[in-house]
Amino acid sequence: MRLPISLAILPLIAACAPPPPPPMDPLPLFGTGYRFKGDVCMRVGEDDSTNQYLDDAADLVACPEDTENLGVFVTDTGAQEVARRDGYVLYSVPRG
């Protein structure tokens, strides 16, 4: 007798659980490389998750996390890390 009551309560408990977060769209990357054609780092466009990092005085740039010499990129460009997403490090790179 207890088993059917337990099974009846299970859907009610599941209905109270918060919904899973919606899947994120892929980063809106564009261009043929940042700084030079063929570079692995690329500019990032605007979407719901990147708009908070956009700045009129800087480029938003994504570099793969496993890229060698990211320290050189940061030093050469003055980039500041703002986020990590989808295997990329997002940088705000001042223009100028």
Average pLDDT over residues 56-72: 96
Domains of the chain: total? 1
8 within domain boundaries: no
5 within domain boundaries: no
Lowest mean pLDDT across 8-12, 18-22, 25-29, 80-84: 8-12
Reported as a pLDDT band with limits 50, 70 and 90, residue 53 is very high
Q: Residue 20 CB: number of other CB atoms within 10 A?
A: 6
Reported as a pLDDT band with limits 50, 70 and 90, residue 24 is confident
10 within domain boundaries: no
| Cα–Cα distance measured from residue 57 to residue 93, given in angstroms and rounded to the nearest whole number | 9
Reported as a pLDDT band with limits 50, 70 and 90, residue 15 is low
- Reading the block at residue 44, the tokens are 């990032």
50 within domain boundaries: yes
Domain housing 55:
21-94
62 within domain boundaries: yes
2 within domain boundaries: no
